[in-house]
Structure 1
Amino acid sequence: MIGTLYFLALLSSTMAWGRVGLWGGGSERNGTEGVGGSQCTCDAFLPSSTFPVKDLVVMEQAAVEISHKLELEMGKLETYETKLTAYAEKIITLTAEIEKMEKNPDSYTEAHLEEVKVEIKQVEALIVELQASIQGSTTVFASLRVQITIMVETLTKLEKTYDKNLVLVTRREYIKIQLQLEECERRHQELFNPNIGSCAHTGIIKISKPIVSQLNAHLNAGYKFGGWGKDSKPVPDRESMYWYSGYTSGSIVDIRFYTNYKNLILRNHYQHHNLHSSWYGTGNNFLIRDNSLYYQFNNPFSMAKLNFTTLKYEYRVVAKASTSFSYAHSPNQNFDFAADETGLWVTYATEESSGRLVIAKINEPSFGIEEEWQTSVYKPGVSNAFMVCGVLYAVRTVDIQTEEIFYKFDTKTKQESYISVLFERFQESYTNLDYNPTDQKLYMYNDGYYVNYHLWFNHTAKAIEESPSLLI
């Protein structure tokens, strides 16, 4: 029952009250800007219900605040421990010095005695300060204990007051709303992305605000490594499928599949594949394409592929690829797989390129490298990268809230350029950023959260004339 109540709290923390609607025109509501400055917003509103979801929202917010306070106090405890160790060493040193003075009082001058007295006074003052700090933390812990006790009592009351049937009804209402949200999202896609699959544009010109789905399937912020998204070339009857894989370290040992977005949110996976232990991977820039997992394999260091239809594993060594160069904030990101309208790609750095990014096109049937392009961008200075219509876009961190697409390389023309397209990060760090050509979205795994972004392209008359519509 507690699990169901927590589920409802998570739900309500991302939704307002009322109904689902598609908003147009020059509204000031939060949303995505369309042609001519109009906006379209998908808003989910819970219907009126006797179930006290608002109370659960308050409890969830209180739980977050308590967690933050505990983290701060635990940090203080570590500081106290360091200070205590230093003070103890000072006291031992002073004690030894005083013993020497007692044995040979004539060997010390009046000035020396005064110096020792000052040191003793300083240690006394430090101890008084530490005692006051510890007392302050004790008060905070007592307050947190009271808050937690109240939360437990409230949850117990909810369990006794609202029976299982009412909770199930509320859960069904949520599912109905989620389906309405999916329809709203589909209409949004039709309105803002009428050219999905087309490369008749000259590149990305804008990125939406982050769209946060929820915390990962483990409901644990400790699962900071991993990825999520959709198959970039789905097989029949799996077009609506989503996948997720997350870990507490940079490894790849399993993957979960969900039939649609609703089941991803409800954490109802229909397939859970555990990789064979001899085929475990590492790094976080893996993806799913044509019902196959492409990822980094370390023994030997190579590209790896697992076909979920045939359950066949295979790998390919890329002779020049180096393990010495990773992205700025993520270890072991040596191979970065990407998929776009033109096929499958992988990027890496080599000793020969002095750490600069190399783009390689993968021949999907043979799982071999077809062609390579050398860029001038240094991989350790890049946060992540992705491909759109045969163009590499490199991203770097601007500040704690902002990322910037700052560089692009066109494999068709072999031309590179520096650009500036800023977008907001939800949390501080992320490990996976990939473009999906089936919906023209960016998918980010951001400190354990599912996040995605809408993209806007420069659809010009010249671009439409020069570039055919492609959808592989």
Structure 2
Amino acid sequence: MKLNTIILLCSLFNVTQQLNLQDRCMCELTNKEKPFPHENLNSVNDKALKCSRNVTPQKALELESLMLGLELRLPQLIKDVSILEKEDDGALYGVVSLQVIENELTEIKHMVDRLNTTTKGHQRITTGSGRQLEQLRAELHEMEQYDTFQVEKRRKDNHRLKRALDECRVEHEFKPQPTHHPDSFCPHGRFVNITGPRFFSAGNAPATYKYGGWGRDPKPGLGKENWYWRVILTNSNRYGNYISFYSSLSSLTVGINAPGNVQIHPANPTTNTIQGPNVVLYGEALYYNCYNNDQLCRFNITSKTISNLQLPKGTRFNSKGNFCHVDECYPYTDFDLAIDESGVWLIYSTTDHFGNLVLSKVEEGDPPMLSQTWHTSVYKQAVTNTFMACGILYATRYINKDMEEIFYSFDTSTGVEKFNLGIFMNKMCPNIFFLNYSPVDQMLHVYCDANMVSYKALFE
């Protein structure tokens, strides 16, 4: 039986071979379509990339910062001229005031020159980019003729239809009214977004000093309402021993640190040296992580005295509980000090709570004290920064070198956590080493790579 089957199969194989050899068919395929111009497409891609490199947010922000600087400097000049006119005779005080005005005029002239140069450069970029965009539009439209199956046309139609459906859905979507809790009442409403950057400047800090912090005191002394402060880590990007004050935002922009610097200690590092960039100024006192200790330091700017608060056992310090993202951690960011409408807050992590974010309210005093404490379920080293606003803790994470996301919130009045806020921040530097909210003007202050940046917080 098996032998017969094998013989039959062999016979079929031979017949099949013979038929294939005799009945082989040859066909000629002619493509009547024009060959697709791949070289033109590559050229369009190259031009688009070049255009993207020429037009950047930094260039637009440079112009906005210069305009802001002039807007703030000119009223100050008018004020100084008015003081000079009221001063008696041409003696010492008049000469000093005249010198101040001459310096301000020099700075304003320098800013105007920079503004003119920047404006001309932007005009050239705008004109060139406009022509390039029109040319790219025409080339892309010409290449659409090769879309014989109308794939691109249908994709555009689908995109328009989807956008119309989204608009319709949003328009008719039921929006429940937010529940207000008396303990977490915010005079501004609910935090929903940010705009900006609004301000960008390196001031007078060397580019090598990448770590630091800056901002405003929500409870300033008399006559210091417009002051700004800045702390720079001048030793190994880890330590700092003084705080600089500036009489206005324009002074901070051009780097005139008057009234000047206040030194915490002549040696650096030493006991009570500032460790890490996350510091805040509140009620004319600087709060920061004490050097080489799991302690909170409070430096009184007026009396030049320091008091210390020992933190709970198991608090992570000395770069063991940093802010991090996938590629790196920010050294000595174990403690994050924050301020909001109610005062000072401390964000940290402990071994007892498995490295998750811990939040404590800091009560003013000499020494300061921790009052109520909250424990969250978000791991601190999965976060790049935190800040407080109206009693709510917000956390950010790294998306890429151009984008940061405010993704998490914890409401101290209700204990409710949210992990999907989706508020995005356009960055001026790849890594944000300092982020804090200012209840004075609802701005977010950022410090990155020796640059100071601010964003406007938007409330519903």
| TM bucket normalised to smaller | 0.5 to 0.7
Contact persistence 1:214–1:450 (CA under 8 A): yes
Q: 2:424 aligns with which of 417, 422, 425?
A: 422
Cα distance per residue 1:229-286 (max 9 Å; x no partner): 1112212211100111223512122111111112112222122122213321211110
> How many residues of Structure 1 are paired with residues of Structure 2 in the alignment?
289
Cα distance in 1 between the residues matched to 2:253 and 2:69: 16
SS in 2 for 1:208: strand
Residue 12 of structure 1 and its aligned partner are, at CA, apart by 12
CA distance in 2, matches of 1:244, 1:264: 9
Q: 1:237 to 1:16 in 2, by over 3 A?
A: closer
> What is aligned with 1:326?
322
Change (3 A) 1:171 1:317: same
Q: Distance in 2 between matches of 1:381 and 1:305?
A: 28
Q: Which amino acid aligns with 1:266?
A: V
Q: Which deviations, in whole Å up to 9, do the C-alpha atoms of 1:299-323 show, x marking residues without a partner?
A: 4420001001111101111123222
Match of 2:432, as an amino acid? Y
**Cα distance 1:167–1:368, how it changes in 2: closer, same or farther (>3 A)?**
closer
5+ residue gaps in structure 1?
A: 1-10, 21-41, 46-164, 179-196, 459-472
Give me the whole-angstrom Cα distance separating, in 2, the residues matched to 1:273 and 1:389.
30
| Residue aligned with 1:233, SS | coil
| Deviation for aligned residue 1:203 | 2.8
Compute the displacement of 1:168 (Å).
7.3
What is the percent sequence identity of the aligned residues? 30
Q: 1:204 aligns with which of 184, 191, 194?
A: 191
Residue 452 in structure 1 maps to residue 441 in structure 2: no
Q: Deviations over 1:407-460 (max 9, x none)?
A: 1000011111121111111011121100010011000001111100001112xx
Give the secondary structure class of the aligned counterpart of 1:264.
helix
CA–CA distance in structure 1, aligned partners of residues 397 and 60 of structure 2: 33
**Separation in structure 1 between the aligned mates of residue 302 and residue 338 of structure 2, nearest angstrom:** 21
Question: Separation in 1 of the partners of 2:63 and 2:304?
Answer: 40
Q: 1:275 aligns with which of 244, 252, 264?
A: 264
Task: Normalising by structure 1, report the TM-score.
Answer: 0.56
Alpha-carbon distance change, 199 to 168 in structure 1, aligned in 2, over 3 angstroms: closer
Q: Out of 212, 219, 227, which is 1:233 matched to?
A: 219
Whether 1:243 aligns to 2:221 is no
**Separation (CA, whole Å) in 2 of partners of 1:16 and 1:302:** 41
Q: Any conservation in 1 of the 2:400–2:430 contact (CA below 8 Å)?
A: no
1:221 and 2:217 equivalent? no
After superposition, residues 128-143 of structure 1 pair within 5 angstroms as none
2:356 alignment partner in structure 1: 356
**Residues 137-193 of structure 1: per-residue CA shift (max 9 Å, x gap):** xxxxxxxxxxxxxxxxxxxxxxxxxxxx99974534468999xxxxxxxxxxxxxxx
Alignment partners' CA distance in 2, 1:264 and 1:292 = 20
Q: What whole-Å deviation, never above 9, does each CA across 1:203-235 have from its counterpart, x for those lacking one?
A: 3211112234311422x2211111111112212
Three-state SS of the structure 1 residue aligned to 2:245 is strand
The corresponding residue for 1:390 is 391
Structure 2 counterparts to residues 432-471 of structure 1, below 5 A: 432-458=434-460
The aligned residue for residue 303 of structure 1 is: 296
CA distance in 2, matches of 1:406, 1:12: 27
* Structure 2 counterpart SS, 1:231: coil
SS of 2:330 mapped into structure 1:
coil
Letter in 1 for 2:332: N
Partner secondary structure for residue 14 of structure 1: helix
Q: Which residue of 2 aligns with 1:286?
A: 279
Distance 2:405 2:62 in 1: 26
Distance 1:43 1:301, change over 3 A: closer
**1:362, 1:370 within 8 Å by CA — same for their partners in 2?**
yes
Name the residue aligned to 2:152: none
- In structure 2, the partner of 1:257 is 245
Conserved 8 A contact 2:285-2:300? yes
Give 1:198 shift: 7.7
* 2:107 is the alignment partner of 1:171: yes
Offset at residue 201 of structure 1 (A): 5.1
Cα pair 2:275 2:289 within 8 Å, conserved: yes
Q: Is the 8 A contact 1:357 1:379 kept in 2?
A: yes
Q: 8 Å contact 1:198–1:341 — kept in the other structure?
A: no
In structure 2, do the counterparts of structure 1 residues 395 and 16 end up closer, same or farther at CA, with 3 Å as the change threshold?
Answer: closer
With the length of structure 2 as denominator, give the TM-score of the two structures. 0.58
Q: Please say if residues 16 and 44 of structure 1, whose CA atoms lie closer than 8 Å, have aligned partners that are also in contact.
A: no
Q: What code does the residue aligned with 2:455 have? A: Y
Partner of 2:343: 343
> Cα 1:15–1:303, aligned 2, differ >3 Å: closer, same or farther?
same
In structure 2, relative to structure 1, the CA distance for the partners of 1:202 and 1:408 (3 Å cut) is farther
AA partner of residue 343 (structure 1): G
d(CA) in 1 for partners of 2:296 and 2:284?
Answer: 16
* Larger radius of gyration between Structure 1 and Structure 2: 2
Within a 5 Å distance, the mapping from 1:49-68 to structure 2 comes to none
- 1:243 and 1:415 map into 2 onto residues whose CA distance is 34
One-letter amino acid matched to 1:215: A
Residues 168 and 286 of structure 1, relative CA distance in 2, 3 Å threshold: closer
Which deviates more from structure 2 when the two are superposed, residues 226-235 or residues 439-448?
A: 226-235
Kept in 2, the 8 Å contact 1:224–1:430? The answer is no
Mapped contact 2:215–2:445 kept (Cα < 8 A):
yes
Question: C-alpha distance in 1, partners of 2:294/2:432?
Answer: 24
Per-residue CA deviation, residues 102-144 of structure 1 (Å, 9 max, x unaligned), is xxxxxxxxxxxxxxxxxxxxxxxxxxxxxxxxxxxxxxxxxxx
CA distance in 2, matches of 1:334, 1:384: 11
Name the Cα RMSD after superposition: 3.2
Amino acid at match of 2:338: A
Aligned-pair distance for 1:398? 0.8
For residue 279 of structure 1, give the secondary structure of its aligned residue in structure 2. coil
Assess, with a 3 A threshold, how the Cα gap between structure 1 residues 205 and 312 changes in structure 2: closer, same or farther: same
